[in-house]
Amino acid sequence: MSNKEENRKQNCGSEQQRVGCALGGIYTALAINNVLPVLHSGPGCQLQSGTVLAKLNGGQNAYPYQETIIPCTDFSEADVIFGGSERFRKVIASSMKYYKTDLIVAVDGCTAEIVGDDIKEVAESFEGSDVPVIYATLPGFKGNNLYGHSQVLKAIIDQFLDGPVEKVEKQVNVWGIVPFYDATWQGTLVGIEKLLKDLGFKPNIIYGRNKGIEEVKKIPQAEWNLLLSPWLDLDIVKKLEKKYQTPFLHFDHVPSGPTETTKLIRAIAEFADLDKEFVEDYIRDGEEEYYYYISRQLASINEGINLPKTFSLIGSAAAAVSTVRFMVNDLGFVPKKVYIVENVPEKHEEAVRNALYDLELEDKDFELVFTDDGGLPAAELLQEETPGEVILGSTWDEVLARDLNATFFPISVPIGPGLIGRKSYFGYTGGVDFFVDFYTRLLEGGRTSI
pLDDT tens string 323-374: 999 999 999 999 999 999 999 999 999 999 999 999 988 888 899 999 989 8
| Angstrom distance (rounded) from CA 88 to CA 65 | 19
Interatomic CA distance for residues 32 and 173, integer angstroms: 14
Name the band, by pLDDT with cuts 50, 70 and 90, for residue 81: low
Give ∠ CA 130-133-139 in degrees, rounded to 5. Answer: 160
Give me the amino acid identity at 370: F
Mean per-residue pLDDT of the chain? 91
Mean pLDDT to the nearest integer, 252-273: 98
Confidence check: pLDDT of 7 > 60: no
Q: Among 122, 181, 103, which residue's Cα sits nearest to residue 146? A: 181
For residues 111 and 41, what is the distance between their CA atoms, to the nearest angstrom?
7
- Over 90: is that where the pLDDT of 51 sits? no
Phi-psi region of 43 (alpha: psi -120 to 50; beta: other; left: phi over 0): alpha
At the second CATH level, the architecture of 171-254 is: 3-Layer(aba) Sandwich (3.40)
CA distances from 406 to 290, 448, 450 (A): 27, 9, 8
Please tell me the distance from the alpha carbon of residue 5 to that of residue 91, in angstroms, as a whole number: 53
C-alpha span between 251 and 76 (Å, rounded): 45
Superfamily of domain 22-159: Nitrogenase molybdenum iron protein domain (3.40.50.1980)
Question: 22: which DSSP letter?
Answer: G
- Where in the chain do CATH 3.40.50.1980 domains reside? 22-159, 171-254, 307-444
pLDDT, tens digit, 9 for 90 and up, residues 370-389: 998 989 999 999 999 999 99
- What distance in Å separates the CA atoms of residue 407 and residue 388, rounded to the nearest whole number? 9
Burial tier of 405 (Cβ tally within 10 Å: 0-12, 13-18, 19+): exposed
**Quick one: which H or E segment has residue 400?**
helix 397-403
Q: Name the β-bridge partners of 339.
A: 314, 369
Quick one: fold of 307-444?
Rossmann fold (3.40.50)
Helix (H, G, I), strand (E, B) or coil at 189: helix
Question: Across the strands, what pairs with 38?
Answer: 106
